Amino acid sequence: MAVAGVLNNRRSGLSRLFEAYGQEFVVLGAIIALFVIVGAVNPRFLGNNNLVNIFSGNAYIAVAAIGMSLVIITGHIDVSVGSLIGVLATIAGTLAVEGYPIWVAWFVPVLVGVVVNTFVGALIAYARIPSIVVTLGMLSILKGGLISVTGGTWITNMPPEFFIAQARLFGIPAPVYFMVILTVLMAFWMRYAGLGRAIYAVGGNLEAARASGLYPERVCVLAFAMHGFFAGIAALLFATQLQVIQSTVPPNLELTVITAAVIGGVSILGGTGTVIGSTLAAILFACISSALVFLNVSAYWLRAVLGLLILATVLADMARRRRHRAGGRL
Amino acid sequence: MSALIELSGISKSFASVRVLQDISFDVRAGEVHALLGENGAGKSTLIKIMGGVHRADGGEMRVNSAGVTFASPRDASAHGIAVVHQELLLFPDLTVAENIFMGHAPRTKWGALDWPQMRERARALLDRLQSQHIDVDDRVGALSVANRQRVEIARALSQDARVLIMDEPTASLVEEDVQQLLSIVRMLRDKGVGIVYVSHKLPEIFALADRVTVLRDGARVGTAPIGELDERKLVSMMVGRPIDQLFPKQETKIGVPLLELRKLAFAGVVRDVSLTLRAGEILGIAGLIGSGRTETALTIFGITPATSGEILVDGKAVSIRSPQQARDLGIAYVPEDRGLQGLVRPQSIQENVSLAVLKTLAKGGLIDARKEEQLAKDSIAKFGIRARGPRQIVKQLSGGNQQKVVLAKWLATEPRILIMDEPTRGIDVGAKSEIHALMSALAARGLGILMISSELPEVLGMSDRVLVMKNGTLVAEFDRADATPEAVGAAMTIANASGEAA
């Protein structure tokens, strides 16, 4: 015990930072390593066009992963987010084509996202149906409904001012601003807002949270409502980045979003993780998929690589925790 | 008579806490050897060592005179030692026969499960246990607790157990089932099985045991044939020690009533509980596990709101339907199970300490980080929490320090009524006396403390008054002067105790 105490006192601030944000550092390190290695093999990887493609083209995944992190930290899961984003993007495009004011086309999908997921959260919290069941149901309803209504047609001819994702400020595409600002705001909110803290507490120990005077049901609904908001923003970025909206569900989007949260350090058991981690992980995916192209590797390998990445990061995380548990006990 | 299993000089420590020291113990063929001791005396650890769950740090274990070490429960059962756990480790969705033969099912020559043989042998085992009424194809989850227990005993016998360890087998049985269980135990004994019988219920011990071993604080107090003992002697072996030095409750002026319960009840597990807690008072509630003490606390705190009866705070009737209401009335509850209801273990000390007062710390929805950190630092200093700092994750702290965090969290709400459920369970001796000193200081400041404890010395040393609870209701009340270990112990354990009703 005494020995452990001495060791602990000698540990530097950096190592403590690493203990608290280990997973985030691992992901950041991986991103940097990728840039260095792939950039050395093929310098065009670091070209302006490709960087825009990596950061801007995948920002909507990072934004969706913020909401997913909230849900997972609360101790739940949402497998329907990909379908929801598909539906919301279609709504945005349709409103724009039908001639509604642009702000309506931007605002309504976000509102619908919040309403739908508030309902989902209420089913989970108050009807006590496991989240995996509710969202599996939502996945089918949204996916089936979307195909039935639109027939999978492409939406085109949106007015030019609709394409918010193609706008630039100081040369940087708008989606990057969305990603960075929302991530920073949410990181701050989760650390310093009472409600953010409640999300960690409910996911970490629901009974203790209840005994401490929090309302776990309300926290769950709130987490899902916010998740709906982020899904709405993600849908907007997704819908406006190209000239067409394919009114189907982007394949495997929900898995990519969940994977980003988990690789970013959000514990699938709830209670731990940060949105900084999930955003970094979403950027890491984008880097990997782009790197595969530049290294002339078939895009089909992307899924396999992501799968390996999940296993590797979870193993690394467990090893890190075990080391700290062994050395850090007082 | 030769010993089936014999332990000598067994010791065991967890982290730096010594739980068993130099224990010798043996079980002979055809005897019931009762193992007694308060909670925390080391009984379960000893059982787990014999059952192969834990490995002893020192000492020897011999089975049929040959030295053995068990690496796993499977090793133990291969040596003929089986444990019937208190929390019946069965698979509720499998059938009786499957449960009995889980892990050692009879096989056909092709290696498939031999269902006819499995069902037939299960039938024979249950018949041996006078359990003809249990169908081998029943789902275990559909059986009563008593019947599940028989399945577990049958499971032990199916592995040719010669030593059967039973951990509080009657804790959750009704009287009729208890009698039947006792007759099964006698029958097994007469067939030459050696039985280790752990129970708090003295009448059972006297009805069943051939010899008794008493443990206290991880050491063996003594082993004696049952004929040389009576109830008073046993109780004093279990609890007897000079307790006044260990538990320093300061003399405090007892003030006005803070909390009054009038015929409080919850769903049959809390019945007709009436009591008064005054400022500056520590009111101890003694009783066995399952006697309704924790349930009473949960009802007062609004986790399981009362189904009838009245709660008065400061002489005014109040309605408490949720922990939030209880907190706002100045009630705090330090729960029995730190892991379950007390702490968010993946979070830091700072985040745990502020959890019950987030509203007070927040301005416009945002937590004042500086205030929060100050609260955590103050708590660490005031409660002597040994940690690297306010940002250390609670999971990494020792049990005693975790308990101090829970206490700090609740005292941050500035309560006037503090309910402490098993305040020092699983905590080493040093931290224990620190927590006792804290409780004493809090009472001196005018808090009323309702303390639930299964450790008699703690109850007797800390309490101004002692209430004894049994079967969901209060059965006796003692003033500090009259609360002797013998009297309180007797009221807890002996049916129809002579203590005055509260």
CATH of the domain at A219: 1.10.3470
A150, A261 in Cβ contact below 8 A? no
Determine the Cα–Cα distance for residues B181 and B153; give it in Å rounded to an integer: 10
CB contact under 8 A, B344 and A325: no
CB contact under 8 A, B391 and A210: no
Mean pLDDT of B11-24: 81
How do residues B134-193 score in pLDDT, each as one tens digit? 998 888 888 888 888 889 889 888 888 899 999 888 876 767 788 888 988 999 899 899
**pLDDT in the model for residue A16:** 63
The rounded mean pLDDT for chain B is 84
pLDDT top residue among A174 and A318: A174
Residue A314 lies inside a defined structural domain of this protein = yes
Residue B337 lies inside a defined structural domain of this protein = no
CB contact under 8 A, B365 and A194: yes
CB of A329 less than 8 A from some CB of B:
yes
In one letter, which amino acid is B26?
D
**pLDDT in the model for residue B448:** 92
B195, B166 in Cβ contact below 8 A? yes
Burial B19-48 (b: 16+ CB within 10 A, else e): bbbebebbbbebbbbbbbbbbbbbbbbbbb
CB of B324 less than 8 A from some CB of A:
yes
CB of B41 less than 8 A from some CB of A:
no
Residue B32 lies inside a defined structural domain of this protein = yes
Mean pLDDT of A65-86: 92
Q: Which residues of chain A are within 8 Å of residue B347 when distances are taken between CB atoms?
A: 200-201, 204, 271
CB of B341 less than 8 A from some CB of A:
yes
Q: Copy the structure tokens of residue B242.
A: 């000079």
Same domain, residue pair B176 and B61: yes
Task: Among B210, B239, B268, identify where a domain stops.
Answer: B239
Distance from CA of B240 to the nearest CA of A (A): 32
CB contact under 8 A, B341 and A272: no
The packing angle between helices A216-240 and A194-204, to 10°, is: 110
Distance from CA of A5 to the nearest CA of B (A): 8
Angle subtended at Cα B310 by Cα B306 and Cα B315, rounded to the nearest 5 degrees:
135
**pLDDT in the model for residue B501:** 39
Q: Which chain A residues in 280-319 lie under 8 Å from chain B, judged by CB atoms?
A: none
pLDDT at B236 exceeding the cut of 90: no
**pLDDT in the model for residue A160:** 80
Q: Is B427 exposed, middle or buried (0-12, 13-18, 19+ CB in 10 A)?
A: buried
Distance from CA of A208 to the nearest CA of B (A): 4
**pLDDT in the model for residue A189:** 87
Same domain, residue pair B290 and B421: yes
Q: Which residues of chain A are within 8 Å of residue B395 when distances are taken between CB atoms?
A: 325
Determine the Cα–Cα distance for residues B321 and A250; give it in Å rounded to an integer: 47
How do residues A174-189 score in pLDDT, each as one tens digit? 898 999 999 999 988 8
Same domain, residue pair B203 and B132: yes
CATH number, domain containing residue B477: 3.40.50.300
Determine the residue of chain B that is closest to A200 in CA distance: B347
Of A1, A214, A330, the CB nearest to B387: A330
Residue A2 lies inside a defined structural domain of this protein = no
CB contact under 8 A, B366 and A209: no
Residue B336 lies inside a defined structural domain of this protein = no
Confidence of residue A13 (pLDDT cuts 50, 70, 90): low
Determine the residue of chain B that is closest to A208 in CA distance: B341
CB contact under 8 A, A194 and B366: yes
CB contact under 8 A, A1 and B346: no
Task: Among B397, B413, B429, identify where a domain stops.
Answer: B413
The rounded mean pLDDT for chain A is 82
Highest mean pLDDT among A228-242, A261-275, B467-481 belongs to A228-242
pLDDT top residue among B498 and B305: B305
Q: Copy the structure tokens of residue A40.
A: 């050395």
Same domain, residue pair B430 and B395: no
Determine the Cα–Cα distance for residues A79 and A255; give it in Å rounded to an integer: 7
pLDDT at B204 exceeding the cut of 90: no
Distance from CA of B330 to the nearest CA of A (A): 12
CB of B356 less than 8 A from some CB of A:
yes
Q: Which chain A residues in 267-286 lie under 8 Å from chain B, judged by CB atoms?
A: 267, 271-272
Determine the residue of chain B that is closest to A6 in CA distance: B388
Q: Which residues have a Cβ under 8 Å from the Cβ of B463 and sit 6 or more positions away?
A: B249, B282, B283, B284, B451, B480, B483
Residue A5 lies inside a defined structural domain of this protein = no
CB of A213 less than 8 A from some CB of B:
yes
pLDDT at A201 exceeding the cut of 90: no
Comparing A135-139, A290-294, B422-426, which segment has the lowest mean pLDDT?
A: B422-426
CB of A320 less than 8 A from some CB of B:
no
Residue B53 lies inside a defined structural domain of this protein = yes
Which residue range(s) make up the domain with B149?
A: 3-239
Task: Among B385, B413, B441, identify where a domain stops.
Answer: B413
Q: Which residues of chain B are within 8 Å of residue A201 when distances are taken between CB atoms?
A: 344, 347, 351, 355
Mean pLDDT of B18-31: 89
Same domain, residue pair B295 and B166: no
CB contact under 8 A, A212 and B356: yes
The count of other CB atoms within 10 Å of the CB of residue B123 is: 19
Same domain, residue pair B209 and B301: no
Q: Which residues have a Cβ under 8 Å from the Cβ of A18 and sit 6 or more positions away?
A: A25
Q: Which residues of chain B are within 8 Å of residue A214 when distances are taken between CB atoms?
A: 355, 358
CB contact under 8 A, A205 and B345: yes
**pLDDT in the model for residue B1:** 54
**pLDDT in the model for residue B426:** 65
CB contact under 8 A, A211 and B301: yes
Distance from CA of B208 to the nearest CA of A (A): 41
Residue B426 lies inside a defined structural domain of this protein = yes
Determine the Cα–Cα distance for residues B177 and A187; give it in Å rounded to an integer: 58
The percentage of residues in chain B with a pLDDT greater than 90, rounded to a whole number, is 16
Q: A with B: how many residue pairs have Cβ under 8 Å apart?
A: 97
Of B323, B358, B401, the CB nearest to A211: B323
The percentage of residues in chain A with a pLDDT greater than 70, rounded to a whole number, is 90
Q: Which residues have a Cβ under 8 Å from the Cβ of A277 and sit 6 or more positions away?
A: A21, A23, A24, A27, A69, A261, A263, A264, A265, A266
pLDDT at A329 exceeding the cut of 70: no
**pLDDT in the model for residue B336:** 77
A3, A253 in Cβ contact below 8 A? no
Q: Which residues of chain A are within 8 Å of residue B351 when distances are taken between CB atoms?
A: 197, 200-201
Mean pLDDT of A41-45: 82
What does the DSSP assignment read for B7-25?
EEEEEEEETTEEEEEEEEE
CB of A18 less than 8 A from some CB of B:
no
**pLDDT in the model for residue A10:** 45
Determine the residue of chain A that is closest to B371 in CA distance: A192
Same domain, residue pair B303 and B349: no
CB of A330 less than 8 A from some CB of B:
yes
CB of A201 less than 8 A from some CB of B:
yes
ipTM above 0.95, yes or no: no
Determine the residue of chain B that is closest to A190 in CA distance: B366
How many domains is chain A built from? 1
Residue A1 lies inside a defined structural domain of this protein = no
Q: Which chain A residues in 222-241 lie under 8 Å from chain B, judged by CB atoms?
A: none
Same domain, residue pair B257 and B359: no
**pLDDT in the model for residue B285:** 92
pLDDT at A319 exceeding the cut of 80: no
Q: How far is CA B480 from CA A294, B168, B465, in A?
A: 82, 30, 5
pLDDT at B257 exceeding the cut of 60: yes
Strand order, beta sheet including B17-28? B17-28, B3-14, B58-63, B66-67
Q: How far is CA B122 from CA A54, B141, B147, B176, B447, in A?
A: 65, 17, 14, 24, 58
- Give the closest residue to B493 by CA, choosing from B456, B462, B457, B460: B456
Q: How far is CA B263 from CA A199, B271, B274, B288, B295, in A?
A: 38, 7, 5, 21, 14
Residue A310 lies inside a defined structural domain of this protein = yes
Burial B459-476 (b: 16+ CB within 10 A, else e): bbbbbbbbbbbbebbbbb
How many domains is chain B built from? 3
Enclosing H/E stretch for B333: strand B331-334
How do residues B331-359 score in pLDDT, each as one tens digit? 999 887 776 778 888 888 988 998 888 88
The percentage of residues in chain B with a pLDDT greater than 70, rounded to a whole number, is 92
Of B323, B343, B366, the CB nearest to A213: B323
- Give the closest residue to B366 by CA, choosing from A195, A260, A149, A250: A195
Residue B256 lies inside a defined structural domain of this protein = yes
- Give the closest residue to A94 by CA, choosing from A247, A249, A196: A247
Of A197, A209, A325, the CB nearest to B367: A197
Q: Is B380 exposed, middle or buried (0-12, 13-18, 19+ CB in 10 A)?
A: buried
Residue A327 lies inside a defined structural domain of this protein = no
Residue A312 lies inside a defined structural domain of this protein = yes
CB contact under 8 A, B303 and A213: no
CB of A195 less than 8 A from some CB of B:
yes
Highest mean pLDDT among A172-176, A221-225, B476-480 belongs to A221-225
Residue A4 lies inside a defined structural domain of this protein = no
Residue B44 lies inside a defined structural domain of this protein = yes
CB of B405 less than 8 A from some CB of A:
no
CB of A41 less than 8 A from some CB of B:
no
The count of other CB atoms within 10 Å of the CB of residue B66 is: 8
The percentage of residues in chain A with a pLDDT greater than 90, rounded to a whole number, is 25
Distance from CA of A308 to the nearest CA of B (A): 26
Mean pLDDT of A204-232: 89
- Give the closest residue to B397 by CA, choosing from B414, B380, B413, B381: B380
Comparing A252-261, A308-317, B60-69, which segment has the lowest mean pLDDT?
A: A308-317
Mean pLDDT of A257-266: 86
The residue among A7, A212, A219, A266 with the most chain B CBs within 10 A of its CB, best to mutate, is: A212
CB of B347 less than 8 A from some CB of A:
yes
Q: How far is CA B323 from CA A236, B278, B362, in A?
A: 42, 21, 20
Beta-strand pair A172-173/B17-28 = unpaired
How do residues A14-25 score in pLDDT, each as one tens digit? 666 666 677 788
Comparing A111-115, A162-166, B166-170, B461-465, which segment has the lowest mean pLDDT?
A: A162-166
CB contact under 8 A, A192 and B387: no
pLDDT top residue among B502 and B380: B380
Distance from CA of A6 to the nearest CA of B (A): 10
Same domain, residue pair B12 and B136: yes
CB of A198 less than 8 A from some CB of B:
yes
Determine the Cα–Cα distance for residues B176 and A313; give it in Å rounded to an integer: 56
Same domain, residue pair B10 and B142: yes
The count of other CB atoms within 10 Å of the CB of residue A168 is: 12
Mean pLDDT of A35-46: 84
Comparing A233-242, B145-154, B356-365, which segment has the lowest mean pLDDT?
A: B356-365
